A and B are shown apart, each in its own frame.
Chain A
Amino acid sequence: MTDGYSEKVMDHFANPRNVGEIKDADGIGKVGNPVCGDVMWIYIKVKDNILEDVKFKTFGCGAAIATSSMITELAKGKTLEEGLKISRANVAEALDGLPQVKLHCSNLAADGLHAAIKDYLEKTGKKLS
């Protein structure tokens, strides 16, 4: 369990950054499945093509919560294009790695962010340059 969780994972798990929902979010990404034990909702606020605010709500294990917390930090202040380029591997790297068994199931945070950006683009009809 904790065996294999890096200090950074434990830090983000114990003190998750940017928890909560954004009431008037511009985009919401909902990924995961309660049956598998992980559900992530990523909320974004966009201004001038920039991810001005990113928050999350997550049901899941230590890795699920830590990756959610990390993606909010990685994405904040980035352009939408940059946000779409943040990969699962980037999130895992930023956390100094994840246990092998957690790589697939819990590392949904990047998918959640991408889904939130796509939700924003669909709602506004905007296209990325």
Chain B
Amino acid sequence: MKQVYMDHSATTATDPAVTEAMLPYFSEKYGNPSSLYTIGRQARRAIEESRQKVADLIGAKKEEIIFTGSGTESDNLAIKGSALRNRTKGDHIITSSIEHHAVLHTCKYLEKNGFKVTYLPVSKEGLIDPVDVAKAITAQTILISIMHANNEIGTIQPIAEIGKIAKEKNIAFHTDAVQTTGKIPINVDDLAVSMLSISAHKIYGPKGVGALYIRKGTVIEPQLHGGGHERNIRSSTENVPGIVGFGKACELAKERLPQESNLAALRDSLIKRVLEIKDSYLNGHPIKRLPNNANFRFSYIEGESMILNLDMKGVAASTGSACSSTSLEPSHVLIAIGLRPEEAHGSLRLTLGRENTQEDIDYVLSLLPEIVNKLRMMSPLAR
């Protein structure tokens, strides 16, 4: 059976060149980068080369990159680290209602521990208004955290504008760029961010490694204490193979950035054809969206049923339906853009990647109308 992977915002396959770069660091060059002998120094050098490659992808300096274990850890480190460090200056954090759970749940945790958090609303396309950010700032505001692009609906936020506001007020500004890295050009100076989270496995790198960009002059409290690794900000023996793979993935991402934006053309043909299905809608912004993201909703049917039907035909996709989550709550993002829960249950996310072709789109379109029809025939909500 044909296999079509259209869930690249969940994860990507590790590029063979990345795997190849990692392999020597498992069993030949296995040294601890903190050790002084040859294989230790080899590992140290490999980490520093990777750090440069990560920095190059986002227009940062090598010294401003801290390796972590994941995008989630980077978000936790940025937000908790910044909040705790600046506690004496204030107790107010501004974020949005559509952040990834790594940001939202970290903010909830800080609320339980005495911080105050403003969760900004979004438009029905999922956009945050920079004016709302400016209005929410108080004398107590110590941190703003707004994602670069949303992982579900793909809406790209006006980060540079928000960055300008934060800079004028001298407030630390963090962005979760896990979804945008390697898909659209990123420059930390243009975005005017003080911290930026990225993850390797979304850009054809390995799972279990991420990074936090921390602008020179931005100070945060470490969240892992120990041997003082990563400039004393993130103690832990470095995940050398993972970091080497991450570096290689960033190098490839930089080279391939022009091709990544070509995905938009493929994505647009997907959107156009899916919307020919009766009672189907696009979630998110029509233009300001990730080049690889398409997110739909279909009236009267439920997402998990769609995913299972697609999976039976070899297509991997995802949904914001409650029934596919362990929490049994519909996607907070779809609710925040104003959808009713029953509309959120009928969502389908297709996220493209490097290996997808027009043929893949044709294959999905050869299945989807029939699946939607079959489920509607079964649904008491359909009229």
Measured CB to CB, the residues of A under 8 A from B are 1-2, 10, 13-14, 16, 19-20, 30, 34-41, 57-65, 101, 105-106
Contacts and interface: CB of A to CB of B under 8 A. Distances in A.
B378 A58 contact: yes
B301 interface: yes
Given A37-B342, A62-B305, A105 B323 contact: yes
Interface stretch (B105-113, B124-132, B175-183, B307-315): B307-315
B326 interface: yes
Contact of B378 (A2, A37, A57): A57
A126 to B, nearest CB: 26
24 contacts: A1-B307, A19-B377, A34-B342, A34-B345, A34-B381, A35-B340, A35-B341, A36-B341, A37-B322, A37-B330, A37-B342, A37-B345, A39-B380, A58-B380, A59-B300, A59-B301, A59-B302, A59-B379, A61-B302, A61-B323, A62-B304, A64-B302, A105-B328, A106-B323
Contacts of B301: 59
A49 to B, nearest CB: 27
Nearest to B376: A59
Contacts of B302: 37-38, 59-61, 64
Contacts of B324: 1, 61
Contact of B381 (A16, A59, A62, A64): A59
B304 A61 contact: yes
Nearest to A40: B380
A16 B309 CA distance: 12
A2 to B, nearest CB: 6
Given A36-B322, A38-B323, A101-B328, A2 B380 contact: no
Interface residues of B, number: 26
Contacts of B380: 30, 39-41, 57-59
Specify which of B309, B323, B324, B342 lies most central, judged by the most chain A CB atoms within 10 Å of its CB. B323
Given A34-B341, A39-B381, 8 more contacts: A1-B304, A30-B380, A34-B381, A41-B380, A59-B302, A61-B305, A61-B321, A64-B323
Contacts of A39: 379-381
B379 A58 contact: yes
Contacts of B326: 101
Nearest to B300: A59
Contacts of B342: 34-35, 37
Specify which of A37, A57, A64 lies most central, judged by the most chain B CB atoms within 10 Å of its CB. A37
Contacts of A63: 323
A16 B374 CA distance: 11
Contacts of B345: 34, 37
A87 to B, nearest CB: 22
Instruction: Pick the 5 closest A-B CB pairs, nearest first.
Output: A61-B323, A34-B342, A61-B304, A57-B380, A41-B380
A17 B380 CA distance: 16
A40 B377 CA distance: 13
A13 B375 CA distance: 11
Interface string B288-316: 00000000000011101101110110000
Contacts of B311: 2
Nearest to B341: A35
Nearest to B345: A37
A81 B302 CA distance: 33
A37 B323 contact: yes
A64 B309 CA distance: 14
Contacts of B321: 37, 61
